[in-house]
Amino acid sequence: MKIQHLIISFLFLITSCTSREQKVDKSKLLGNDYRLFQDTPAWELAKAIEDENTTLIKKIVNEKQVDINLQEPRFGQTFLMIAVTNQQYNSCKTLLEFGADPNKYDNYDGSNAMIEAVQISNITGDNTNFLKLLLQFKGNPNFVEVGPRREGNSTRNSVLISAVQINEVQSSLPMVKMLVEAGADINYKNEFGQTALNQAIILDVFDVAFYLLQKGADYNNVIVDRSGISKDGKKMYLIEILREFTPELNSKKHKEKLAIIEFLKQKGIDYKKVAIPDFILEKIKRDYPNNWNDYIEQY
């Protein structure tokens, strides 16, 4: 049985190595595909990086003088960006040791390795490893996407805003803390008025929001501007948005919300003085028909 497994593994390795040598239409490749470097002077290096063969990476860089910051022709990504996207830590570390630039950006979204690193959310264990590594090699915690916007991605994000927005699998709080401690501008606002705080509130990531407030996030900024959405729409501030959030009492989200309410109270902003919107009151009555009066006193 073990011999069969070895044969299958060997055949898979041969097939995979052969398939990546076949010429491909690069216009159909995704951004994490090393075959974007086919027919470039750096193709051998690209394969070594994909295989995480650090010995061969060093050999090629030293002997062939390949530009370690070369950008592939379709999206303009560097080896480092693709290695981060594919979560190949050993390759990333080796590239950085040989001078890969963590701040070099592509020509597609104007993104870079730092932004790719904070978008890692589909792994088990520590999701800050790549960000920590890039920061050690002078990755800029205040990097902002550059260049013209394109259809489908019109928003210019900072590394911090991108970190807040990625909360699908693991908490974004460790990454946010790491960036803030490295000097990230908490109150950076892009052309759409987005900040790290308003993104945390909109996404109900209240542990992140509370941390940002403690570190100096501007609680007087608009969270959501509804003035252009409907006739009755208006600019909504933090305390008003909190009134619209109806968590289960005593849940983690509820406790995090209460912590923010207490923080704002210390700043002279009284949650209790903000009227409950009619549509929220109706929702509460539907959700808690037998004790809605008690709920509105506690939520």
Distance CA 102, CA 189 (A): 23
Band of residue 232 on the pLDDT scale cut at 50, 70, 90: confident
* SS3 category, 254: helix
Band of residue 4 on the pLDDT scale cut at 50, 70, 90: very low
89-98: pLDDT as tens digits:
999 999 999 9
Q: Is residue 142 a contact partner of residue 158, using CB atoms and an 8 Å limit?
A: yes
Burial of 6-15, coded b for 16+ CB within 10 Å and e otherwise, reads eeeeeeeeee
Q: Does the pLDDT of residue 9 top 60, yes or no?
A: no
Q: Does the pLDDT of residue 254 top 60, yes or no?
A: yes
164-219: pLDDT as tens digits:
998 666 789 999 999 999 999 999 999 889 999 999 999 999 999 999 999 999 99
Q: Does the pLDDT of residue 3 top 50, yes or no?
A: no
Whole-model pTM over 0.75 = yes
* SS3 category, 225: strand
Q: Is residue 66 a contact partner of residue 60, using CB atoms and an 8 Å limit?
A: yes
Q: What is the pLDDT of residue 122?
A: 63
Share of the chain above pLDDT 70, in %: 90
Contacts of 298 (CB under 8 A, 6+ apart): 249
Band of residue 154 on the pLDDT scale cut at 50, 70, 90: low
